[in-house]
Amino acid sequence: MIYLIGSGPGDPGLFTVKGVRCMEEADAVVYDRLAPEALLRYAKPGAERIYVGKRPGNPTMSQEEINALLVELGGAGKTVVRLKGGDPYIFGRGGEEALALVEAGLPFEVVPGVTSGVAAPAYAGIPVTHRNVSTGVAFVTGHEDPTKGRSDVDWRRIANAADTLVLYMGVGRLKEISAELVAAGRSPETPVACVRWGTIPEQRTVTGTLEDIACRVVEANLKPPAITVVGDVVALREAGLDWYERRPLFGRRVVVTRARAQAGELSVELERLGAEVYEFPTIEIRAPEDFGPLDTAIGELDSFGWLVFTSVNGVEAFLGRLRHHGLDLRAVPRRAKVAAIGPATARKIEEVGLRVDVVPEEYRAEALIEVLEASSLAGERVLIPRAKVAREILPEKLREAGAQVVVAPAYESAPSSEGREELARRLEAGEVDCVTFTASSTVENFVGAFGAEEASRLLSGTRVACIGPITAETARGHGLGVDAEAKEYTMAGLVEAVTDLFAAESAKRGE
C-alpha cells in the first residue's frame, strides 16, 4: 500500500491521527521540504527515509523521478508513506503521483492534511471567512508551471469571485498579482497579509494593502514559503486574533537534552507556549547488563517493607521486569509502602495502580531522605529499583537510619551524541535561545559529547536552564553558566523557569 499523506502546514500537532498510524506501518517514508521533520519520529525503527524535497531552482528530484520512486518501492511490495506538505491535493501534485500509481496498478490511499491556506491565516489571526465580512474564499496558485509559457489564472475573473483570496506560493510575483487584482476592480486599499512559515515558531506576518504590500514584503525581506491573504478579513488580525504570535515563548528556540523516550513531556509543554524545540538526547535508556540483582529482589518482594522510586524510568523498568517473570502488581506485598521522589514519578506509579504513600515537598533525594527518616526504618528492607549509576546519598542515609537497603539496577543510561554536528552548527550560528538540562547526567553527557572547553564555548552565546540546584551545580562545575533554575524540580517547574527568563528579558528591553 502507498499512502499519500498530507503532513499539514508545519506545526507537528496538526498532523492527523490516521497519518500517524500509517507512518507506524511504513517500510519507507518519502518526504519533502515542507513536511515537518519532527513527524519522522513516528516511523518505525528500520524504516527507510528518503528526502525528495524541492527548493526553488534546486530540486533534489524531479516530479517524474518521485513518481518512479513510488512505483519502484510499491512494486517491491513495501508499505510506503509519501509525506507531503499541507494537503496532497491542494497544490501538492498529489494527483500526479496518484495517477502514476493507477497506471502502475498499485494500490494507494489518500490521507488529507490541514492545508496551509487555512492554517497559516488562522495562526496569524485571520479567519478566511467571517460573517458580514467574507462569505466565500478562493484558493489560487501564485506560482504556475514556468514551462507552460502562458498563465491559466484568469485574475480578472478571480479578483471578484470571492470575498477572500488565498494565494499559494505567490510572494515572488506579488507586485504583478496585486496590479492584476486592482486592474480587475479590487480596491487598492484592500487589506493584504503575507504569512511566512505559518504555524511554526519562525512564523512572520507582514500586512499592508494591494497598493503597498509588495514594497512592504521587500522591506521586511520576507521570502517564500508564504501564504498571501487578500480581503477585509485581514483587518480582524488587529482586533486581537493573532493568538499564536502572543504566546510567551513564541519564536524562541529551545534545546531539550533529555533521553528521546522521555523528551516528549518537556517538548510538548515548550511547544505549547510557542517555542521551537530541538531534541538533542544526551542519554540513551537501555536495559542493564545484568538483571540478576533485580530478579533476586523480585523473588523476595514479600520481604520488603518499602519500595522507593527515584524516576519514571525506574517505575517503567520495574514493571517491565515483573511482566518478564509473568507477574504483575499483585506481587507487591500489601503491607509495603511506596515512596516517589517527585510528582511525575508519583503520577506514573498511581497510573499503573499502586498507591503512593510518600512524596517529599522538595523533589530531590535529600528531601526524600528527611521524609523517610521520619518513619520507623529500623530493620525494614527497602528496595530501590533505579539506574545502574546514580547518586549514592539516598541508600547511604537510609542504611544509617537502620534500613536494609537493596539497590537493584533496573536500567542504565548511556551517553548519546546523536545529532551532535547539527546542534553544534545551530549553536555556532546563534540559532538556539536556550539549552535545558533535566539531570546532572544530561550535563555530564553534553560535556562528554563536545569536550568541556568546546561545550563551554558553544553555550557561551545562549541561555542555560536547569531543573534544580543539583543539576545547576554540575553545570557550573563544568564551567557552564546557568541563567535559570527551576524553583520546583519538575518538568513543569523547568518550563516555568524558561518562560520567566525570557519574560524578564523582554520586560528589560521594554517589549
Catalytic sites, residue numbers: 32, 54, 169
The dihedral built from the CA positions of residue 482, 262, 352 and 397, taken in this order, carries a sign that is: negative
Q: How far apart are CA 285 and CA 283, in angstroms?
A: 6
C-beta atoms surrounding 158 within 10 Å? 18
Question: How many Cβ atoms from other residues are within 10 Å of residue 72's Cβ?
Answer: 13
Please report where in the chains the cell 475573473 appears, as a residue.
Answer: 157
**What is d(CA 450, CA 473) in angstroms, rounded to the nearest whole number?**
19
Cell numbers describing residue 297: 529482589
**Chain centroid offset of residue 332 CA:** 37
Question: In which residue are the cell numbers 499502586 written?
Answer: 354
Torsional class of 419: left (φ above 0), alpha (ψ -120 to 50), beta (otherwise): left
Which are the contacts of 18, defined by CB distance < 8 A and separation ≥ 6?
111
* Those residues with Cβ within 8 angstroms of residue 219's Cβ, 6 or more apart along the chain or in another chain: none
Residue written as grid cell 529551545: 254
> What does the longest C-alpha to C-alpha distance in the chain come to?
91
- What lies within 8 Å, CB to CB, of 255 at 6+ separation is 277, 278, 279, 280, 423, 432, 434, 435, 436
Q: Is the dihedral of CA 471, 473, 477, 481 positive or negative?
A: positive
Alpha-carbon torsion 343, 348, 349, 352, what sign?
Answer: positive
Can you spell out the DSSP letters for 60-72?
SS-HHHHHHHHHH
In sequence order, which ranges of 190-253 are alpha helices (DSSP H)?
213-219
The amino acid occupying position 165 is L
Q: What are the Cα distances from residue 360, in Å, to 345, 365, 369, 398, 466?
A: 12, 9, 9, 15, 20
Cell match 524531479: residue?
Answer: 62
Q: How many CB atoms lie within 10 A of CB 41?
A: 14
